[in-house]
Structure 1
Amino acid sequence: MADQSTPGTSAPSARKAPTPEESPGTPPSAGSPTGVMSRRRLLGTAGATGLALGAAGAAVGYAAAPTPVKTVPLTSVGADMAMFHGKHQPGITTALQARGHLVAFDLTAGSGRREAAALLRRWSVTAERLMAGEAAAHEDTDVARDAGPSSLTVTFGFGHSFFSRTGLEKQRPLALDPLPDFSSDRLDKARSDGDLWVQIGANDALVAFHALRAIQKDAGAAARVRWQMNGFNRSPGATTEPMTARNLMGQIDGTRNPKPSEPDFDGRIFVPASGTPEWMANGSYAVVRRIRMLLDDWEKLSGKAQEDVIGRKKSDGAPLSGGTETTAMDLDKTDADGNLIVPVNAHARITRPDQNGGAAMLRRPFSFHDGIGADGTPDAGLLFVCWQADPVRGFVPVQRKLDRGDALSTYIRHESSGLFAVPGGAAEGEYVGQRLLEG
């Protein structure tokens, strides 16, 4: 839960969906005399079912002669589309999405490099189609039939164990060595790690679920689900202007995230084109942590005590030393009694990059709430996902420092963990990971 800002809403990977007139329909499916109309084509037909209602909202069933209905394409949230092909995989610099699914798979007994390559090929085809607002190529469930792309992204990564299962140990990056143990860890091994990792995000819950179901079905006999986690964020347009997200503690969370506009952004987040191994060029490493928030304990604190734990005002995210959310924190400022205004163990102080040798990571989390536990406390918190060119220089030093005295540690619990190598984006005609699996 480092003190870094969320990605902006103008992510370079997003573009608007084509209008219905520009989008060809999906060819008829086998056994269907009429075929299945593509989701993009349906964007312009949303008003066609309301013929019986007058403009002022007449009662259902009002008898009237059929009149031409102007088809209006979806705009805003539903029409936003991310690109599958590109230098980097989608879902890294894409703006935070309202709904997310994280899922890890293990290859099944007998599945090796050949089966993994076929699986990544299937997954890539499915991801490309769904992100474009089309139905899955086979046995589509129609869950998202009426929706636009809704900024759907599907991102794929490889865990440490993937390389031994596929005979590719020599291609395993050194940066993928297992994370060290941290004193705050209370990890459930069954919900940690995995051979393969998939991140799904969208601004519509049904679109996100549709992608999750398609990916799970595509796994077939080659892989089985190891664990799955579901998350959410604030929906786009829920605030009067774009804002840094809030977490379930009510705190603005992510103020100091590195931004794509910064000149050193790529160097801190992505593996360089000349990096090693070659197949990881333009890729990144994702650290995934399920962090339980002990909300009952947290909510017993006064507002002032909560702000002291974080080091920022709860109302607007401004540092306790003064200014606005983006004002640089004055770590040396004291009150009239000579006490530090930003406490020495405040979370925002400990996680500042300039207090950690410049360590930087791009945080892109989801909140989660999985019901109420047997003890009556909410099973809720943060699905922490952070991206960096090298986790040894990005995540590890910050987490070690948090271990040694972060005031927030009393109110959170790290319950699962994973580290995944996420290769660069697939070029046109490629599938994700092809340079590894066929290199």
Structure 2
Amino acid sequence: MADQSTPRASCEGVPSQQGRGRRPAEGTKSAGSVPDAPTAAEPDRSAPAAGISRRRLLGTAGATGLALGAVGGATGYAAAPSEKATPLTSLGADRAMFHGKHQSGITDALQSRGHVVAFDLAPGAGRKEAAALLRRWSATAERLMAGENAPHDDTAVARDAGPSSLTITFGFGHSFFSRTGLQKQRPSALDPLPAFSSDRLDASRSNGDLWVQIGANDALVAFHALRAIQKDAGSAARVRWQMNGFNRSPGATARPMTARNLMGQVDGTNNPKPEDADFDRRVFVPAKGEPVWMANGSYAVVRRIRMLLDDWEKLALPAQEEVIGRRKSTGAPLSGGTETTEMDLEKAGRDGKLVVPLNAHARITRPDQNGGAAMLRRPFSYHDGNAADGTPDAGLLFICWQADPLRGFVPVQRKLDRGDALSQYIRHEASGLFAVPGGAAKGEYVGQRLLEG
């Protein structure tokens, strides 16, 4: 996914201070502080056998690394790293904030590990049970994102790590509103996505009442969060589907670079940036928008897109580049320049043919070719072994964010359906659309304005 609007798999409250460590002051990032000493009645269940806490262990990793990490995790935007390379030793100290105008996991830089999971409310569970569940989930998310233990029954999987840029994001599916008697509060933007000719969707791995996105720069931290969220669901909800993904680790390259996908293509070149004048308009529901409970929220389209890698890898490099419309090595457009150079759609070669083919993925997905349709892409790659025929079951967990999917994802996908050169090398196998409300204020839980409004 080289270009910012593409939906294809392409180049284009106060918690306890015992446990994993004392929480930093609100609004701060990393902390290497030592937790309060456990009392006899409250043993420090998170401390390693040697008596070193999770946070203290980070402090021994190097004060310089911690200082750098306090900056690196908050800068940048989805699909792009911060301006300075982040030493790997600092990654555990990076922390995202739970409370805020927007939920975390939308504009945060890509993490190296992710889980996306959908839940269905259990038979008989309704609005009351859903509210209690979101309250539990929010309390757990706040603690884990601060590098602390889960509120109860902590598994200690991540006892040696810091927050590691953990983000936990919650959303509601179309079916949630009928299950909870809140049909009148269901936004029109959450209407089911239209069918696309390229879809080969598995209903059992699509949609869902509730959706949770987890991301972190440490696999154990991410798994720890996943287990805590699943355990918190209790008897109120059950897992409908789960998918696991990954990205390149921050600091793995000599300099910050746009991510690559499993086709080897630079993926995310023209993603909208928070500093863009129209960023909020494109990505977030206005503060005075409708419905009121979605103020400062966003809509997430989730697509499991399998890449037919055996077929793709048979293509010679020039053919791959023509399919995408960009150089594989640098992400630069075939019309010349660097990765960020604007693509010249009219440029022809000596043979008179357009340098960027008419069906090139990067051409079709450009916002100016789609009435300005745009979205913020924040994907994960995935690999689930091999299919029954021996081909790799691998590709992209495509996640895009927009203020209105009918103006963001849908028009672009429709155009791709009509003639994208990439379509023969990918397969859309699962899909979901979720309303992700704005961030919770201090003392609130995510979705409270909907469930208690």
Output the TM-score relative to the length of structure 1.
0.89
Counterpart contact for 1:20–1:43, Cα < 8 Å: no
- Structure 2 counterpart of 1:157, which letter? G
Aligned match of 1:246? 260
| Aligned residue number for residue 70 of structure 1 | none
> Is the contact between residue 5 and residue 363 of structure 1 (CA under 8 Å) also seen in structure 2?
yes
Answer whether contact 2:5 2:375 (CA < 8 A) is retained.
no
Q: 1:414 is paired with a residue of what secondary structure?
A: strand
**Correspondence 1:324-363 to 2 at 5 A:** 324-363=338-377
Hey, what's the Cα distance between the residues in 2 that align with 1:34 and 1:95?
33
- After superposition, the Cα gap between the structure-2 partners of 1:399 and 1:98, relative to the gap in structure 1 and judged at 3 Å, is same
Question: 1:118 aligned to 2:125?
Answer: no
Question: Is 1:307 aligned with 2:321?
Answer: yes
- 1:17 equivalenced with 2:26 (yes/no): no
The equivalent residue for 2:279 is 265
The answer to whether the 8 Å contact 1:14/1:151 transfers is no
Note the C-alpha offset of 1:16: 3.0
Alignment of 1:136-175 (within 5 A): 136-175=150-189
1:75 positional shift: 5.0
The change in CA–CA distance for 1:33 and 1:400 in structure 2 (over 3 A counts) is closer
Q: Which residue of 1 aligns with 2:55?
A: 40
Matched residue, 1:64: none
Q: Which runs of 5+ in 1 are unaligned?
A: 7-12, 48-73
Residues of 2 paired with 1:29 and 1:354: CA distance?
65
Aligned-pair distance for 1:41?
4.0
Look up the match of 1:284: 298
Counterpart residue number, 1:217: 231
Taking the aligned partners of 2:385 and 2:204, their CA distance within structure 1 comes to 19
- Pairwise CA distance, 1:252: 0.3
Q: Equivalents in 1 of 2:61, 2:159: separation in Å?
A: 11
Given that residues 234 and 245 in structure 1 are in contact (C-alpha distance below 8 angstroms), is that contact kept between their aligned partners in structure 2? yes
Q: Do the aligned partners of 2:306 and 2:426 also contact (CA within 8 Å) in 1?
A: yes
Partner SS, residue 242 of structure 2: strand
Matches within 5 A, 1:50-65: none
Paired residue type of 2:435? A
Alpha-carbon separation, structure 1, partners of 2:443 and 2:58: 27
Match of 1:177 among 148, 171, 191: 191
- Determine helix, strand or coil for the equivalent of 1:215: helix
- Residue of 117, 127, 131 corresponding to 2:141: 127
- Secondary structure of residue in 1 paired with 2:95: strand
> Which deviations, in whole Å up to 9, do the C-alpha atoms of 1:388-432 show, x marking residues without a partner?
000000000000000000000000000000000000000000000
Does 1:187 pair with 2:192?
A: no
- 1:238-260 CA distance string (max 9 Å, x none): 00111110000000011111000
Q: Does 1:3 align with 2:3?
A: yes
1:88 and 2:88 correspond? no
Distance 1:294 1:190 in 2: 22
Three-state SS of the structure 2 residue aligned to 1:88 is coil
Instruction: Rate the CA distance shift 1:33–1:85 in 2: closer, same or farther, 3 A.
Output: closer
Aligned-partner SS, 2:140 = helix
Percent sequence identity is 82
Map of 1:63 onto structure 2 = none
Amino acid at match of 2:106: I
- Change in CA separation of 1:14 and 1:317 when aligned onto 2, cut-off 3 Å: farther
1:321–1:341 contact (8 Å) kept in structure 2 = yes
1:313 to partner: Cα distance: 0.1
Aligned to 1:52: none
Aligned partner of 1:233: which letter?
N
| Structure 1 residue ranges, 4+ long, deviating more than 4 angstroms after superposition | 26-30, 32-35
* Structure 1 residues 46 and 242: CA distance shift in structure 2, 3 A: closer
